């Protein structure tokens, strides 16, 4: 039977909408790395200290994290085109403020606007994919978005690093402003709800559809949603924290120069880009969510143990293991699909925001905790092996992700209409 939500819309239109959503997600992911990449230039731009730039960065990340669940609640209730276009406009306004008002208070305001606007990007993409693609393709399409996000962000980061010291910083800011405006235009022109979405959406009693707290309560009461969030947080969180913060100094400590350390770290990012669509395709193909999650968690755990054991001396093998670690660690596609299938249709945006919030909190914590352990361990050990001891928290997190899969109820890629509000 032909999927009703996309009938009569043309085979290319869903993919045009996918591209618009992917552009917004890439802009969001790149914005998250921009503060770290250009910290020195931002200090000059704002005539500020490193602490001031850290505060501006914190304004973005804190706002983005706090807005995940509200973004889902809003997207569940209002027209996707208007919400995402409005969110992209807010993000573009933040980028304009960033580029043309070089004062520290305006930098904080710009970061908050960027955090608010971009917080709708991923949740909005999930909502669009649910409507525009058949359920049997959802995990793959979502994984493809994750892979494209990693690749697009890596390319933009490379370009920024190459040109930030060669050309005026103002030129880079203007280019980013243009990118943000293009994101708004693409969402305004191409994002639409399917023509029959209104008729196909089950009628929700006004008392429930108007109650934000009721929707949030339904999502929070479902223990399967918590398991999905914990799985994503404990598997993907260590990988992103490791690749974005710990891997570079770790590789430099273990006999690798700066260029080699960067190349080794990039292999994790390449693996993350490959892993998301791969597990999405596999999960949709075999119509299972839990088994692929378990396989990828075991693979991730094995690779991380090899990494921190420092038993691999061949550079080729180090590259291969880093690639495989990234590949096995990006199983978030399954987590989001699993949570969606255990949740009522009217709460899909809310549950996506909820899972994203847990994942985001994990990434933040795992950028801090190894440093705390490392600082304490350094008072007892005078060897470089304190890095190994500090990073032991990462395999234990992955082991926790594997443990959660044994409590997850298989959906076989289908909505679980009965008991989805209580996790039974």
In 213-310, which ranges are E strands? none
How many angstroms separate the CA atoms of 268 and 44, rounded? 32
Tell me the CA end-to-end span of the chain in Å, nearest whole number.
30
Q: What is the mean pLDDT of residues 382-396?
A: 64
- Which one-letter DSSP state was computed for residue 257? -
Asked whether the beta carbons of 336 and 228 are under 8 A apart, the reply is yes
- Return the minimum-mean-pLDDT range out of 291-300, 380-389, 391-400: 380-389
Please name the CATH architecture into which domain 1-196 falls.
Answer: Up-down Bundle (1.20)
- The sign of the CA dihedral 380, 385, 386, 392 is negative
- Enumerate residues 6+ apart whose C-beta is below 8 A from 51: none
pLDDT in tens, 307-334: 877 666 677 888 888 899 999 998 888 8
CB count, 10 Å around CB of 33? 15
What's the pLDDT band for 258 if we cut at 50, 70, 90? low
The pLDDT value recorded for residue 405 is 94
Radius of gyration of the chain (CA): 21
Whole-number Cα distances in Å, 37 to 40, 283, 365: 8, 35, 20
What's the pLDDT band for 120 if we cut at 50, 70, 90? very high
193 CA to centre of own chain: 23
The pLDDT value recorded for residue 371 is 56
Query: Apex CA 167: angle with CA 165 and CA 170, to 5°?
Result: 105
Q: Domain residue spans in the chain?
A: 1-196, 207-424
The pLDDT value recorded for residue 327 is 92
3-state secondary structure of 256: coil
How many angstroms separate the CA atoms of 147 and 128, rounded? 17
What's the pLDDT band for 40 if we cut at 50, 70, 90? confident
The pLDDT value recorded for residue 98 is 87
The pLDDT value recorded for residue 386 is 53
Q: Given a cut of 60, is residue 1 above it in pLDDT?
A: no
Of 90, 157, 121, the C-alpha closest to 28 is 121
Average pLDDT, the chain: 80
pLDDT in tens, 142-164: 888 888 888 887 788 778 777 77
The pLDDT value recorded for residue 2 is 41
Rounded to two decimals, the pTM is 0.75
* CATH for 207-424 (3.30.200.20, 1.20.1250.20, 3.30.420.40, 1.10.287.1060): 1.20.1250.20
DSSP secondary structure string for all residues of 188-237: HHH----TTHHHHSPP--HHHHT-HHHHHHHHHH-HHHHHHHHHHHHHHH
How many angstroms separate the CA atoms of 117 and 282, rounded? 33
For the chain, what percent of residues have pLDDT higher than 90? Answer: 24
The pLDDT value recorded for residue 106 is 92
Q: Note whether 1-196 and 207-424 share their fold.
A: yes
- Which one-letter DSSP state was computed for residue 342? T
Residue 196 or 35, more confident: 35
Q: Where are the alpha helices (DSSP H) in 330-406?
A: 332-341, 348-377, 386-390, 393-405
How many angstroms separate the CA atoms of 225 and 207, rounded? 23
Q: Given a cut of 60, is residue 82 above it in pLDDT?
A: yes
Q: What is the mean pLDDT of residues 363-387?
A: 54
Q: Given a cut of 80, is residue 372 above it in pLDDT?
A: no
Asked whether the beta carbons of 88 and 117 are under 8 A apart, the reply is yes
């Amino acid at each position: 039977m032909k999927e009703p939500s996309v009938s009569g819309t043309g085979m290319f239109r869903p993919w045009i909408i996918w591209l618009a959503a992917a552009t917004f997600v890439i802009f969001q992911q790149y914005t998250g790395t921009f503060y770290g990449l250009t910290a020195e230039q931002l200090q000059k731009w704002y005539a500020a200290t490193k602490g001031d730039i850290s505060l501006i960065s914190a304004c973005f990340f804190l706002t983005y994290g706090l807005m995940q669940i509200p973004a889902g609640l809003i997207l569940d209730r209002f027209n996707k085109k208007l919400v995402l276009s409005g969110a992209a406009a807010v993000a573009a306004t933040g980028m304009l403020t960033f580029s043309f008002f070089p004062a520290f208070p305006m930098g904080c305001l710009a970061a908050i606007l960027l955090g608010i606007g971009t917080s709708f990007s991923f949740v909005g993409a999930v909502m669009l994919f649910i409507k525009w693609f058949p359920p049997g393709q959802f995990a793959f399409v979502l994984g493809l978005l994750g892979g494209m996000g990693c690749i697009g962000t890596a390319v933009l980061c490379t370009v920024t690093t190459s040109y930030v010291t060669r050309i005026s910083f103002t030129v880079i800011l203007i280019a980013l402003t243009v990118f943000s405006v293009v994101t708004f235009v693409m969402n305004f022109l191409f994002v639409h709800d399917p023509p029959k979405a209104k008729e196909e959406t089950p009628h929700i009693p006004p008392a429930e559809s108007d109650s934000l707290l009721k929707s949030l309560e339904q999502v929070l009461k479902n223990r399967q949603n918590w398991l999905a969030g914990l799985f994503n947080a404990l598997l993907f969180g260590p990988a992103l924290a490791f690749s974005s913060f710990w891997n570079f100094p770790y590789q430099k400590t273990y006999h690798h120069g700066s260029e080699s350390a960067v190349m080794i770290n990039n292999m994790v990012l390449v693996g993350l880009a490959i892993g998301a669509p791969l597990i999405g395709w596999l999960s949709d193909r075999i119509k299972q969510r839990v088994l692929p999650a378990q396989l990828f968690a075991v693979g991730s755990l094995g690779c991380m143990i090899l990494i921190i054991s420092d038993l691999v001396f061949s550079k080729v093998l180090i590259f291969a293991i880093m690639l495989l670690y990234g590949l096995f660690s990006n199983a978030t596609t399954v987590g989001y699909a699993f949570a969606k299938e255990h949740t009522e249709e009217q709460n899909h945006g809310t549950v996506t925001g909820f899972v994203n919030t847990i994942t985001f909190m994990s990434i933040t914590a795992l950028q801090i905790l190894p440093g705390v352990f490392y600082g304490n361990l350094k008072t007892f050990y005078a060897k470089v092996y304190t890095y190994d001891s500090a990073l032991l928290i990462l395999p234990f997190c992955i082991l926790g992700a594997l443990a959660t899969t044994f409590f997850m109820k298989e959906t076989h890629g289908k909505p679980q209409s009965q008991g989805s509000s209580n996790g039974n």
